[in-house]
Amino acid sequence: MGLKKKNKISTAFSTASMTDMIFLLLIFFMLTSGLVAPNALNLKLPGTSKSKIQIDSKTDDVSINKSGSFYLNGKRVSAGDLEAALAKKARGGDLDITISPEAGTAVKYVAFVMDIAMRYQINAILTSEEK
């Protein structure tokens, strides 16, 4: 005796509503990503020209040697004193500094000075030594 089930389960799956949701999410993320401002450094990188750039006498120079010692305008300062000195000078208005790391200096020391420049809204120019 052949008994057959009257209710058959359909195994078909409709993806029409899922594509609509993905499309709406795509539009949402495209619109909101344009509103997010990146937290970037105000950093002017040197170009590839061979000409010497005339630096204004009001520009302070932060030099860093390989061992991580900091020099502000030729005078050796500690990391804490460097931040305090730059913060004090930045309160007076626009401050421009050049960051001059010695060849082979660890990136963490340069990033430390760049972080100070970003926090106090100091215009920083990263210079490099030619080999």
Domain residues of the chain, as ranges? Answer: 43-47+56-126
**How many other C-beta atoms are found inside a 10 Å radius of the C-beta of residue 78?**
10
pLDDT in tens, 75-125: 999 988 999 999 988 887 788 899 999 988 888 999 999 999 999 888 888
Does the domain spanning 43-47+56-126 belong to CATH 3.30.420? Answer: yes
Identify the sign of the CA torsion 18, 20, 25, 26. positive
Position 128 confidence tier, pLDDT thresholds 50, 70, 90: confident
pLDDT in tens, 20-75: 899 999 999 888 877 666 666 666 666 565 656 555 567 889 999 999 899 998 89
Residue 100's nearest CA partner among 63, 52, 56 is: 63
Q: Is 112 helix (H, G, I), strand (E, B) or coil?
A: helix
Euclidean distance between CA atoms 76 and 63, whole angstroms: 9
Are the CB atoms for 90 and 58 separated by under 8 Å?
Answer: no
Position 15 confidence tier, pLDDT thresholds 50, 70, 90: confident
Instruction: Round the average pLDDT of the chain to a whole number and report it.
Output: 81
pLDDT value for 13 = 76
Per-position b or e across 12-41, b if 16+ CB within 10 A of its CB: eeeeeeeeeeeeeeeeeeeeeeeeeeeeee
